[in-house]
Structures are given as C-alpha cells and as structure tokens.
C-alpha cells in the first residue's frame, strides 16, 4: 500500500547577516531554534539554506515554522540575523536577493 | 493594507544627574538610539528615564530633553517619540511625591510593581499610565487591580530585559513567572505592553519577532500583542499630550480650537 503524504508548504526567508558561509548560518539558526524550542521546534521548522549571495541568504522553512524561527531569533541580537522579507516561492526570493544591494 | 507602526516603549536614557552627562551628549545619544530603534523595525521610540530612591532630577534638564525629543519628532515625519519617567521606589509616599512633581514633564509615567501596595497604587491612580511587571518580584495581580486597570485604561508592561538572561535556567524561570503574571491579564484583555527594557548597550529586537515570541511562549493572540505595541500606545501618548496642553481638562471633555 502506498501512502501519499500531503505536500508541506514552504516559506522562503530572506536573511541578512554578517556571516557569509552557508553552513555556519545554518548551524547558527539550528542552535537558536534548539535553544528556544528543542527538537520539537526544529522538526517543525526544518531550515535549509538554499541560496546565498554575499551576506544575504534564502532560508527555506516549513510554513508553520515561521513563528518558531522568529521567536527563536529574539534570543539573539537584531544585528546578528535580520529578516528582510518572507516569500512563498524560491524564485521570487532569489530574485529579491539578486536585486538587493 | 497599511503597515503596522510599532513602538518601543522602553528606550533607556542615562540618568540626568546634571553633572554626569551634558545635554549635548544626551542629544547625540538620542539621535543614535533612534537610528538603532528604526533599524530594528520600530517606527517610534519612547525614551525612558529611571528615577530611583533618593535621586534628584533637575526639571530644567527634563524640559530640555523633552523639547529636543519633540523637535526630533518633527524632523522625521509620521513618527511619534515620547518621553517616559519610570519610578522605582518602595515607599508609596515618595512615589506620590515623584508623580506630583514630574507628571508635567513627561508623556508617560510608569511605576515598577515591586510589592503588593505599589501594584494596587499603580492600578488605581489616574496619573500612572503604565505598571511594570518584574517576573520573580511582582506579586500576583488581584481581581480588583485588574478591574481598576480596565476601567482606567491602564497598561501593564513586560520587559524583555527581565526575560532574557544569560543563564538558560534563569531564563526559563523568568518566563514561567511571567506566564503566571500575564495569563489573568490576557484573559481579561487588559492592555499589555512588551518592550525592550534597560539593556546596556541598547539592543532592540525586531517587533515581529517579539510578537512571535509572545505567541509561542505565552500563548497570547497575535492581534492582541500587535495592537498594544502599536495603536494603543500611540493613542496613549497623543491623549496625554492633549491633557498636558489642557485640551482635555477632564476625562471625556475635549476643547476644540476655533
């Protein structure tokens, strides 16, 4: 029997940080979520960095995880990770990152 | 849909002792603080001066700060910056004296709810606008206090400064204390402010992040937090200014200009 899982909707978050390395940013986000919500919160957000240019990145997360990520960022300073915009498609997110100076 | 105009209700200003910092230095600091505040996503900020026990504040000093803030407000359009005085004192009589002497020099007067008596005083006195809750120190808020606060349209305030500690266990404890304080207020829909607090150096958080934080950690409705951080606090400042200009002599009476 084949179970077809419902496709989970994603949101694409455009982030500006001082960090330019993808891996390092992902580590930082994961640590922030783990600190605030633990493994449960991480399973609800599942962040992945899909695109980066200079110090701007596009992070894909589950739709329900947006609030988790935002709440987790309260524990870090605003200069460290700054959310610029949230989009519904990766194409649009990439286009915005490319257009930003 | 118009964007929300968030306000940071606690931007800490150093104590004006008259000797420590000159007015010019303070004005430069205000400009820096407002830039930082705007960068983090707030539209306006309320500069706060703490008044602690046995401290004297020169009224001339206060007046000049207030005038500078009003002037800076006119430079960038569509913003409101306010001045607030926070009284941290254990003696009720001293608090009343402070309120009497300083009410005319600030947009907002707030007191720290350190003990039961002050909490009762803060929720009953018309001249006090905001009562600050300190998790772990502020006692339980009674039904009577809540009903007075509702009828007088008062604000209770929670500062991130008291929640975000360096130690994880202390943070967890503070959040737990805050939850027990806030739950009865949120049930009755009492105005609840969430502000940055006296971080040194000033480090504001994005208001949308703060809203998400309140939603996830305290189970508060998003709309309730957002309204209090934007519309209601702006309304409070404009109303208090009209009161100071004597355009609202008594509650419910507004004198129109010809």
For B103-138, write each residue's pLDDT tens digit: 999 999 999 999 999 999 999 999 999 999 999 999
Options 3.30.420.40, 3.30.70.100, 1.10.8.60, 3.30.70.3250; CATH of A10-99: 3.30.70.3250
Full pLDDT tens readout for chain A, 101 residues: 667 677 789 999 999 998 888 999 999 999 999 999 999 999 999 999 999 998 899 999 999 999 999 999 998 876 678 899 999 999 999 999 999 87
Complex-level ipTM:
0.89
Q: Considering the domain boundaries, does residue B12 fall inside one?
A: yes
**Domain presence at residue B250:** no
Residue B18 pLDDT more than 70? no
- C-beta atoms of B216 and A67 within 8 A: yes
pLDDT confidence of residue B70? 86
B211 contact residues in A (CB cutoff 8 A): 70
Whether B253 maps to a domain, the answer reads no
pLDDT at position B64: 86
Residue B80 lies in a domain: yes
How much is the pLDDT for B85?
Answer: 93
**Residue B142, C-beta contacts closer than 8 angstroms, at least 6 positions apart:** B120
What's the gap in Å between the CA of A51 and the closest CA on chain B?
23
Q: Is B122 exposed, middle or buried, given 0-12, 13-18 or 19+ CB atoms closer than 10 A?
A: buried
| 3-state helix, strand and coil shares in percent for chain B, rounded to the nearest 5 | 50, 15, 35
Compute the Cα dihedral for A94, A98, A101, B1 and give only its sign.
Answer: negative
Bond prior to B5 in cis (omega within 30° of 0): no
Q: What is the pLDDT of residues B139-162, one digit of tens each?
A: 999 999 999 999 999 999 999 999
Residues B41, B207 contacting (CB under 8 angstroms): yes
CB-based contact A42:A34 (threshold 8 Å): yes
Under 8 Å between Cβ of B10 and B196: yes
pLDDT computed for residue A79 by the predictor: 66
B213/A37 touch (CB, cutoff 8 Å), yes or no: no
Judged against a pLDDT cut of 80, whether residue B2 lies above it is answered with no
**Residue B165 belongs to a domain with what CATH number?**
3.20.20.140
Number of domains in chain B: 1
Residue B19's pLDDT is what?
55
Res B59: pLDDT: 81
The ranges assigned to domains in chain A are 10-99
State residue B20's pLDDT score: 60
The residue in chain A having the minimum alpha-carbon distance to the alpha carbon of residue B207 is A74
Q: Is residue B193 part of a domain?
A: yes
Confidence of residue B15 (pLDDT cuts 50, 70, 90): low
Q: Using an 8 Å Cβ cutoff, are B85 and B95 in contact?
A: no
To the nearest whole Å, the CA of B39 is away from the closest chain A CA by 9
CA-nearest residue of chain A to B208? A70
| A74/B209 touch (CB, cutoff 8 Å), yes or no | yes
Secondary structure (3-state) at B76: coil
Q: CA B60, B63, B65, B71 torsion: positive or negative?
A: negative
pLDDT in tens, B212-228: 999 999 999 999 999 99
Q: Give B133→chain A minimum CA distance, Å.
A: 19
Instruction: For residue B252, tell me if it sits in a domain.
Output: no
Containing structural domain, residue B132: 7-244
Residue A73 to residue B206, Cβ atoms within 8 A: yes
pLDDT at B129: 94
**Section B89-98 average pLDDT:** 91
Q: Which residues of chain A make contact with B41, given a CB cutoff of 8 A? A: 78
Interchain pair B160, A74: CB under 8 A? yes
Judge: A73–B215 Cβ closer than 8 Å, yes or no. no
């Amino acid at each position: 029997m084949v179970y077809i899982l419902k496709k989970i909707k994603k949101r694409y978050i455009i982030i500006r940080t001082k960090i330019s390395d993808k891996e390092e940013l992902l580590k930082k986000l994961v640590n922030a979520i783990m600190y605030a919500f633990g493994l449960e919160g991480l399973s609800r957000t599942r962040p992945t960095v899909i695109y980066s240019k200079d110090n701007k990145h596009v992070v894909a997360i589950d739709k329900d995880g947006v609030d988790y990520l935002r709440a987790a960022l309260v524990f870090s300073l605003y200069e460290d990770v700054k959310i610029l915009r949230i989009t519904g498609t990766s194409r649009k997110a990439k286009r915005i990152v490319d257009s930003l100076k | 849909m118009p964007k929300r105009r968030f306000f940071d209700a606690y931007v800490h200003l150093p104590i004006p002792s008259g000797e420590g910092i000159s007015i010019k230095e303070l004005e430069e600091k205000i400009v820096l603080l407002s830039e930082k505040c705007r960068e983090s996503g707030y539209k306006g900020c309320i500069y706060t001066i703490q008044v602690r026990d046995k401290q004297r504040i020169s009224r001339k000093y206060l007046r000049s700060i207030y005038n500078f803030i009003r002037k800076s407000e006119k430079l960038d359009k569509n913003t409101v910056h306010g001045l607030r005085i926070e009284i941290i004192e254990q003696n009720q009589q001293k608090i009343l004296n402070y309120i009497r002497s300083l009410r005319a020099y600030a947009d907002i007067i707030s007191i720290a709810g350190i003990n039961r008596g002050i909490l009762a005083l803060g929720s009953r006195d018309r001249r006090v606008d905001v009562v600050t809750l300190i998790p772990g120190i502020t006692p339980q808020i009674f039904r009577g206090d809540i009903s007075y606060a509702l009828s007088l349209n008062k604000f209770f305030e929670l500062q991130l400064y008291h929640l975000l500690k360096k130690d994880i266990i202390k943070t967890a404890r503070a959040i737990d204390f805050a939850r027990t304080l806030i739950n009865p207020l949120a049930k009755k829909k009492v105005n609840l402010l969430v502000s940055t607090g006296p971080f040194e150096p000033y480090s504001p958080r994005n208001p949308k992040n703060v809203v998400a934080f309140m939603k996830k950690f305290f189970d508060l409705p998003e709309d309730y937090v957002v309204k209090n951080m934007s519309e209601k606090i702006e309304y409070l400042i404009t109303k208090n200014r009209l009161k100071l200009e004597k355009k609202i002599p008594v509650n419910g009476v507004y004198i129109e200009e010809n």
